[in-house]
Amino acid sequence: MKDYRFGKNGIMALSLVITVLVRVCFSHAADRSELVNVIKTIPPNGPFWKYGTLEMRRKTKKAGMAAAVFPHWSHRARYTCRVCHEELGFSMRAGDTGISRAQYVSGKYCGACHNGVTAFTVQEGAVRHCDRCHMKDTAALEKQFDAFAEKMPFAKFGNGIDWAAALRADGIRPQNALSGEKEILPLPEKLKVPMKLGTAAPRSDVAFSHEEHYLELDCSACHPDIFNIKMKGTKAFTMENNIFGNYCGVCHMRVAFPMNDCKRCHAQMSGSILP
Ligand code: HEC
Ligand code: HEC
Ligand code: HEC
Ligand code: HEC
Ligand code: HEC
Ligand code: HEC
């Protein structure tokens, strides 16, 4: 049914109000109270199993199939981000890849692994596995998560799993290429020193480690699309922008530990600045 509450003009007026509000709030360096308001927009942590679990329904909805569910937590335990986001060409923006059944049946995207050899197949046949992706309910997946997470180092947010610690302790050993191992070029010496991303605000220093990220990601995951390679060249590199899914927030709001976990980036921060 059509909604008559806002006419076209109503919508324009509303968007003007929003634009003005956004301008007022974000056009200059946020002072403390503004920043607190910005930080309050971080969504609360949902159920651990759900973080990084995507429900893909762009094409399924029209076709009358249940949404295809893609859990990052189970796949990242087996493969590094580079396998899917470089080698197989999945986008890091949900919905962006535009995966269709025709593509994955011919061996692209999900079909590169879900071929009956590496993982259960996408093909039609005597045994159909359609429901294992096109899930009518997620109870079994949630149970699988609980069993998996129990063995992993704990973190407060995101999946409730400290993935960095799991990697360091060999709790997970994701492979770097579809075919098994791949020679990864050594990281240039000068990038081995963690970079200080300074800010004017007290105790908000961030140490960014290229080395830690290079374990999972290639340079092209971040340069030049997310970060300008020229130090400090990345414009408007603030918390607001991070929170709205830019810069660090491209990953650290969706798959890697989320922005709620202040201390993991701001080691000197004593707690939360939230009231
Ligand atoms: C490995 C996971 C996986 C399996 C197994 C799988 N699918 Fe899909 N399927 C997907 C994904 C991902 C999409 C795209 C979802 C989207 O964005 O809407 C999709 C989309 C579809 C669509 C939407 C139409 C289109 O052109 O894309 C249909 C229909 C479909 N699948 C049928 C099936 C059938 C039938 C089976 C079993 C024989 C099956 N799928 C098995 C992952 C899977
Ligand atoms: C097995 C394959 C696979 C692996 C491994 C993988 N991803 Fe993804 N990722 C996907 C798929 C599929 C999508 C959805 C793409 C689409 O909808 O077009 C996605 C989407 C994303 C998104 C967007 C999510 C959103 O909600 O907007 C981010 C961010 C992301 N991945 C980061 C990562 C990071 C970081 C890693 C490594 C820790 C990783 N991915 C590992 C397959 C993978
Ligand atoms: C790089 C390889 C790879 C890609 C790409 C991949 N998967 Fe998987 N997936 C696996 C493996 C390996 C398993 C576990 C083996 C099995 O259960 O047969 C798995 C299992 C799953 C499961 C069952 C739950 C679990 O994790 O055990 C779902 C659901 C799933 N995949 C969905 C997808 C969808 C949807 C896509 C594409 C958007 C996709 N996968 C792409 C390798 C992959
Ligand atoms: C997870 C994201 C990420 C990955 C992956 C990544 N970088 Fe960076 N890189 C950054 C950030 C953030 C900066 C700082 C940008 C700024 O301050 O504007 C940076 C800065 C740099 C700089 C400037 C350093 C300086 O001291 O001036 C160089 C050079 C660089 N990266 C090279 C690389 C190379 C080579 C790789 C692959 C081996 C790589 N980066 C992988 C995020 C990344
Ligand atoms: C392309 C994806 C991506 C981007 C962009 C990114 N990260 Fe990460 N980062 C990861 C992944 C994946 C991990 C591994 C831990 C996890 O998944 O929770 C990680 C780990 C870290 C860790 C290590 C935590 C620990 O306990 O050892 C820190 C600190 C960190 N990131 C800070 C940053 C900062 C600051 C930025 C922005 C300048 C940034 N990251 C941008 C993907 C990303
Ligand atoms: C994934 C890493 C990451 C996490 C988690 C994170 N921050 Fe930040 N934060 C940054 C980066 C990057 C900057 C900008 C650094 C720069 O200016 O070079 C920043 C800047 C700041 C600043 C300086 C002022 C400003 O407007 O940019 C404050 C204050 C701050 N963060 C507070 C917080 C609080 C509070 C939390 C937890 C709710 C948090 N941050 C979580 C990465 C992070």
pLDDT digit string, tens, across residues 29-67 = 446 788 888 888 898 999 999 999 999 999 999 999 999
Band of residue 271 on the pLDDT scale cut at 50, 70, 90? low
Say yes or no: CB of residue 60 within 6 Å of ligand 1.
yes
The third-level CATH classification (topology) of the domain covering 50-149 is Cytochrome C3 (3.90.10)
Which one of 37, 196, 205, 265 would you pick to mutate in the ligand 6 pocket, going by the greatest count of ligand atoms within 8 A of its CB? 265
Per-domain boundaries in the chain: 50-149, 185-275
Virtual CA dihedral for 151, 156, 161, 166, nearest 10 degrees? -90
Q: Indicate whether 275 pLDDT > 50.
A: no
Residue with tokens 């921060």: 269
- CATH number for the region 185-275 comes to 3.90.10.10
Atom number in ligand 1 closest to CA 57: 18
109 within ligand 5 shell (Cβ under 6 A): no
- Is residue 113 within 6 Å of ligand 1 at its C-beta? no
**What mean pLDDT comes out for the span 219-229?**
86
Higher pLDDT, 269 or 112: 112
Token pair recorded at residue 222 = 């971040």
Identify the band that residue 241 occupies on the pLDDT scale cut at 50, 70 and 90.
Answer: confident
Q: What is the pLDDT of residue 234?
A: 59
Whole-number Å distance between alpha carbons of 155 and 198 = 25
Question: How large is the average pLDDT for residues 240-250?
Answer: 87
pLDDT tens sequence across 190-202: 999 998 886 677 7
Calculate Rg over the CA atoms of the chain.
21
What average pLDDT does the segment 59-88 reach? 96
Say if 50-149 and 185-275 have the same CATH topology.
yes
Is the pLDDT score of 232 beyond 70?
no
Residue closest via CA to ligand 4's atom 28 equals 229
Q: Does 23 score more than 70 pLDDT? A: no
Which ligand sits nearest to residue 119's alpha carbon?
Answer: 3
> Residue 20, exposed/middle/buried by CB under 10 A (0-12, 13-18, 19+)?
exposed
**What band does 9 get if pLDDT is binned at 50, 70 and 90?**
very low
Top mean-pLDDT range of 5-9, 199-203, 209-213: 209-213
Residue 161 pLDDT exceeds 70: yes
Distance in Å, CA 228 to ligand 3 centroid: 33
